[in-house]
Amino acid sequence: MTINSKVLALKYRPQTFDDLIGQGVVAETIINSIKSNKVPNAYLFTGIRGVGKTTIARIVARSLNCLKGVENLCKKELCNNCESIANSSHIDVLELNGADKTSINDIRDLIEFARYGPTSSKYKIFIIDEVHQISTSAFNALLKILEEPPEYLKFILATTEIKKVPVTIVSRCQRFDLSRIKSTELLKFIKIINDKEKGKISEDALKLIVKISEGSVRDALSLLDRALMRFNNEKELNLDSAQKIFGHFDKSQLIKIFNYILMGDENNVIEIYRKIYDQGVEPKVFINDFLEMIYFFKNIDSLTLENTNFSLNDQEFSEIKKISKQVEEQILILFWQFTIRTIDELDLVSNQNLSIEMFLLRLIYLASKKINVENNHENNRLNLKKEDVTISEFKSDSVDQIKNISQEKKTKPELQSEIKSENIMISSFEQLIKVCAEKKETKLKYELEKNVNLVSFEKNRIEISFNDNLDKGFVKDLSLKLFEWTNQRWIITFSKTKGEISIKEKEQNIKNEIIKNAKKSEIYRDVLDKFSDADLVDVILKKKKED
């Protein structure tokens, strides 16, 4: 294979530390350790795909064995060692795949081979890629030789899943976490490659490649390869064409969908989505881009155009900023939660496209319910704080929503039953607890007495603090019952102020004080004289006889 026939990811693979992008700190640390002759027994490189783990491993191997030394590492004219390492044919540098060499027998053969010193270089080096895939017994066999290898032996391990590597292995290596490549660096890099390949690709199309690659150099070069093969040199590849090639779509369409959802315009929402789907965009790609759009709407004030990873242009950024000022944060948070749930739902149906359409319609319903909470004073079922209402509407898991006919018949009457309102006056916290007891709302009474600290109690407004044991559905349940009993809307808020001690704590304090006083009495002292190990645990006060 000639160099011109190679894919771009191999053709432009870095050969020295100077060729690397985005890993300057790692490169500098390794170079300094080699120069100062403080080379660790084993290196461990971890990070996402395509950020240079295996590439750096080979460069380290070359740096250790280059005939010219690390300070004069071969660049264009390669020495024998550097050339054979670059071609994966060096007898002293063995490169293994953890997926192939998984068993303990493979590692035993490796250790046996390690007994013999290098033949034509300073170090014998074992590079184990995807090391997390070897077996537990194989890891155990590596432990001793990793910690105390011969002076001529070095290990270089690479993995995308560091959590699967035993901590006993990690502790014996010098670990380097390779970061994702920044968007600006990656864009600059693929621009250079595009110019070298004499490709006619617009900057917007290159930005789309950077966005899709998610910080992976290999992914970016693979996408660039596709783009160069798709178009000839006579015609420039623009953003629209690139979106069709990579299965992505114009973000301005998402902004329009989002705006129409807030307006409650079902027809335009579905019409725009179907146009997106007809472009060949997969439902999961759409839903992930929709999540990203929600994030932008929520955090647009703290972002700059550069922070968006080339997902937006100037006009789209300004449009989101304008619309976001008209949207409450609570709606955006609810949209986010509901979209996350919909990702799981996509796997439950055969036609994912229909699921997305129903998802968009439900968002319109969710947004309208939110408005209904604020404006519809007479809606009995929605007598909660705004965030509690809408969350409760959609709180059940997606799988639970798929019920058979018999289950629906059982639950439907309960869901449709209306709350009968009364006109009870509740003017204090104690009175609220008393009403809970009279109405036999034992759970609410328990929560109010045990886990709630009252901060303030005013007309139709209760401010509380609470402990970790408070039931998650407490606010919703109490709000519903208060509306049912008083026929009025109540606002229940949480406060950072500690508030009064709970009713149960008050009762316990009173009880402790009574016992303390009782222990000072002559009767108690007489009992102790006769029974030295006696203890007073409770006092029952006699009721005064009525005249």
Q: Does residue 167 sit within a domain?
A: yes
Strand partners, 177: 46
pLDDT band, residue 384 (cuts 50/70/90): very low
Phi-psi group of 214: left, alpha or beta (phi > 0 → left; psi -120 to 50 → alpha; rest → beta): left
CATH of the domain at 73: 3.40.50.300
- Residue 366: which of 413, 315, 332 has the closest Cα? 332
Asked if 17 and 146 sit in the same domain, the reply is: yes
Asked if 277 and 131 sit in the same domain, the reply is: no
Asked if 13 and 141 sit in the same domain, the reply is: yes
Query: How far is Cα 242 from Cα 37, in angstroms, rounded to an integer?
Result: 49
How far, in whole angstroms, is CA 185 from its chain's centroid?
24
Contacts of 432 by beta carbon, 8 Å cutoff, 6+ apart:
426, 448, 457, 462
Res 419: pLDDT? 47
Whether the per-residue pLDDT at 49 is higher than 60: the answer is yes
Whether the per-residue pLDDT at 233 is higher than 70: the answer is no
Q: Which long-range contacts (CB under 8 A, 24 or more apart) does 303-306 make?
A: 306/183, 306/184
Q: Does residue 135 sit within a domain?
A: yes
Share of the chain above pLDDT 70, in %: 86
Q: Domains in the chain: how many in total?
A: 4
3-state helix, strand, coil in the chain (%, to 5): 55, 10, 35
Q: Does residue 512 sit within a domain?
A: no
Asked if 52 and 69 sit in the same domain, the reply is: yes
SS3 175: strand
CATH of the domain at 335: 1.20.272.10
Q: Does residue 66 sit within a domain?
A: yes
User: Where is the domain boundary, 494, 511, 529?
Assistant: 494
pLDDT band, residue 377 (cuts 50/70/90): very low
Q: Does residue 202 sit within a domain?
A: yes
pLDDT band, residue 127 (cuts 50/70/90): very high
CATH of the domain at 188: 1.10.8.60
pLDDT band, residue 190 (cuts 50/70/90): very high
Asked if 29 and 90 sit in the same domain, the reply is: yes
Whether the per-residue pLDDT at 87 is higher than 90: the answer is no
Q: Does residue 536 sit within a domain?
A: no
Whether the per-residue pLDDT at 395 is higher than 50: the answer is no
Are 293 and 258 in contact by the 8 Å Cβ rule? The answer is yes
Whether the per-residue pLDDT at 399 is higher than 70: the answer is no
Asked if 38 and 141 sit in the same domain, the reply is: yes
Asked if 293 and 228 sit in the same domain, the reply is: no
Whether the per-residue pLDDT at 338 is higher than 80: the answer is yes
Range(s) of the domain holding residue 466 = 429-494
Crossing angle for the helix pair 283-299 and 352-375, to the nearest 10 degrees: 30
Res 3: pLDDT? 56
Contacts of 282 by beta carbon, 8 Å cutoff, 6+ apart:
247, 352
**pLDDT, the chain, mean:** 81
Share of the chain above pLDDT 90, in %: 14
Query: How far is Cα 168 from Cα 348, in angstroms, rounded to an integer?
Result: 41
Asked if 463 and 444 sit in the same domain, the reply is: yes
Q: Does residue 520 sit within a domain?
A: no
Asked if 273 and 376 sit in the same domain, the reply is: yes
Q: Does residue 368 sit within a domain?
A: yes
User: Where is the domain boundary, 451, 468, 494?
Assistant: 494
Whether the per-residue pLDDT at 114 is higher than 70: the answer is yes
Which pTM value belongs to this model? 0.59
DSSP 8-state assignment for residue 298? H
- Residue 503: which of 440, 437, 459 has the closest Cα? 437
User: Where is the domain boundary, 191, 224, 246?
Assistant: 246
Asked if 108 and 66 sit in the same domain, the reply is: yes
Task: Mean pLDDT check: name the lowest of 132-136, 152-156, 417-421, 510-514.
Answer: 417-421
Asked if 40 and 103 sit in the same domain, the reply is: yes
Query: Can you tell me the mean pLDDT for 175-180?
Result: 92
Q: What count of Cα atoms within 13 Å lies in the side-chain half-sphere of residue 111?
A: 18
Would you list the DSSP string of 436-457?
HHHTT-HHHHHHHHHTEEEEEE
Asked if 154 and 231 sit in the same domain, the reply is: no
